[in-house]
Structure 1
Amino acid sequence: MFVHLKNRALLKVSGLDAQNFLQGQLSNDITKLNNSSVQLSAYCQHQGKILALFWVMRLEDSFLLSFPSDLLEAIKPRLQMFVIMSDVSIEDATKDYIQVGSIGQTHQKSLVINDKLSLIITDKKDINKFNMEPIEHWDMACVDSSLPEIFSITSEKLVPQMLNLDIDEFGVNFSKGCYPGQEVVARLHYLGSAKRRLFAFVLDSDVNVGDSLYCASSKSAKARGARYKSSGIVIFRIKYNSKFYCLATLEVELKDEAVTLNNEHGPTLTRIQK
């Protein structure tokens, strides 16, 4: 099954120093990226919060960064700011290619994301070569795979561990050199366990990215004299058939507790067991 991913931007990073530049900016080890895979990598600010989550690919001597389009205006100039004197060019290549998601199918141009999903970057003229299905199928496959995403509304709100990027070093490499936020991310890894993790949920009511999760038994749910505090946040949502599905962060100790959306009177979220 093929899906046209129209909602994703694409930056092309090229030049003699492109690899070293990205190695110093992103959480994963760019030197380990091959020509047949997509590498997930977080672009963090100095406090360790994720600005954007990139799908990184090699394209001949250059690199491509794929991420949601609503972050393009913020991310491109921020990356450009750190180029300084390096031989690095950062171009908006969104309109030069099409991005096609592949679910459970092989293609000669496929770049593997995981055992179910892959990405195809190809020329715009090739669009008619694919029998495209609705994007809902791709979004549901992302929920099934617990593939995280960062949009503008969740930018700078989460550290990589909250999206499970540290598990098996899927999106964070703890042996590589420094990058913005590396000290914070590494400290969380070596000095303690993550208190919040990413989980998949299903519910009968609509849900939006940025909505909060509430649990009455949470120690952080209340503050004396203050309004309710969030026990987690929705980072991805999809309506599929008659149900609503989402990926959301949640305090690990609450994963088997009753959780509702936004407040104690909100709709109930049921965790999808995996």
Structure 2
Amino acid sequence: MTIHCQYPLMTETYPNMVCELNHYQLIEVSGEDSEKFLQGQLTTDISKLAVGNSTLTAHCDPKGKVWSVFRLVRVGSQHFYFIIRKALLPTALEQLKKYAVFSKVSFNLAQDRTLIGFAGRQAPQTITTLSDQLPNAETPLIHADGHSLLYIEHPQPRWILISESAVTITPTVTTIAWDLLDIQDGIPLLTAESQNQFIPQAINLQLLEQTVSFHKGCYIGQETIARAKYRGANKRALFTLVGQPNTVPAIGQGVELLLETNWRKTGSILNAVQHDGVLWLQVVLANDSEACQRFRLSEDSPQPLCLYPLPYALEETER
């Protein structure tokens, strides 16, 4: 079998990644019904998320299709942060708010907050120029001097600074480089074009952190999500394809797979990022796709695409 393609991790190439996360928005959620409300909406078991911890989570429609994926931070017993891609707004927020009419919960679009991301082996030293405290796996969230620092334990660990004022620091990478961290770590980058298209298992959310709970009880879309797990209804998964085609494809477009001597359309592109002449694609494919298979964008863009290894196995574990 052909091995997966080999490209260096971003944190190996860029040991001191500093990125202005201006493609993300912070939303504050508070009110005495916050936990109860979010428990009935999101795929995560909110009751098991300790104060100071965070996880990826998803919000789905009644048919189990994902409206939004974002980082949920539990700041207090009834106080939460959402760190969400701006591309998913305003639809993502509208879909949540429409269920909040009878709950004591409020959503604050925190436009005044600055978000800065850090990654790489030199990131801790860079962060110490802004804070004398550094969060870690044991204490992932700290508050000091008008800002918060969040540690995220990904395959390529990150830190996110949430500040109430402007931060004087020079970025070293672009938002594209930050998105590529997520792609290499197997985290789906949902866009407006791909909202409401896939169930969580089709984009690997059940394999990430505490994103999907199968035991917490009812929430929006839970019936479809549970059926996909226990009846084997889902036959798709998210894969990363890498190559050097001469074009950047549209979101939602398929790729081509070589079957014997013919190329056949397959899959759906979730996201596409071009960095340093290399195209990185997140593609929803059949979940039995293998590294020995041959892919390309199209006849007009025949350069080969190879599967990049995911940092986790596609087999589900109980959550």
Quickly name the TM-score band, shorter chain normalised: 0.7 to 0.9
Assess, with a 3 A threshold, how the Cα gap between structure 1 residues 63 and 2 changes in structure 2: closer, same or farther: same
Deviations 1:131-182 (A, max 9, x none): 5432233122112111112111000111111111112664211111211110
Corresponding letter in the other structure for 2:255 = L
**CA distance in structure 1 between the partners assigned to 2:169 and 2:53 by the alignment:** 22
8 Å CA contact 2:55, 2:73 repeated in 1: yes
SS at match of 1:51: strand
Shift of 1:259: 2.1
2:249 to 207, 218, 237: 207
Shift of 1:38: 2.8
Count of aligned pairs: 264
* Residue 302 of structure 2 is aligned to residue 260 of structure 1: no
Corresponding letter in the other structure for 1:203 = G
* Residue 278 of structure 2 is aligned to residue 243 of structure 1: yes
Structure 2 partner of 1:233: 268
1:71 to 62, 77, 88: 88
1:155 to 189, 195, 219: 195
8 Å CA contact 2:33, 2:105 repeated in 1: yes
The 10-residue stretch of structure 1 (80-89 or 96-105) with the greater mean CA deviation from structure 2: 96-105
SS at match of 1:141: helix
2:106 to 77, 84, 89: 89
**CA distance in structure 2 between the partners assigned to 1:117 and 1:249 by the alignment:** 25
Mapping of residues 154-233 of structure 1, within 5 Å: 154-167=194-207, 170-192=210-232, 194-205=234-245, 206-217=248-259, 231-233=266-268
Assess, with a 3 A threshold, how the Cα gap between structure 1 residues 168 and 42 changes in structure 2: closer, same or farther: closer
Assess, with a 3 A threshold, how the Cα gap between structure 1 residues 87 and 18 changes in structure 2: closer, same or farther: same
Shift of 1:240: 1.6
**CA distance in structure 1 between the partners assigned to 2:37 and 2:159 by the alignment:** 24
> Which runs of 5 or more structure 2 residues have no equivalent in the other structure?
1-16, 125-133, 136-148, 311-319
**CA distance in structure 1 between the partners assigned to 2:185 and 2:289 by the alignment:** 21
**CA distance in structure 2 between the partners assigned to 1:2 and 1:41 by the alignment:** 24
1:28 to 44, 55, 59: 44
8 Å CA contact 2:203, 2:284 repeated in 1: yes
**CA distance in structure 2 between the partners assigned to 1:121 and 1:24 by the alignment:** 29
Give the alignment's TM-score, normalised by structure 1: 0.86
SS at match of 1:139: helix
The 10-residue stretch of structure 1 (208-217 or 70-79) with the greater mean CA deviation from structure 2: 208-217
Deviations 1:9-49 (A, max 9, x none): 22211100101111110001112223444311111001111
Shift of 1:113: 4.5
Shift of 1:51: 0.6
8 Å CA contact 1:97, 1:124 repeated in 2: yes
**CA distance in structure 2 between the partners assigned to 1:57 and 1:51 by the alignment:** 19
Alignment root-mean-square deviation, CA? 2.5
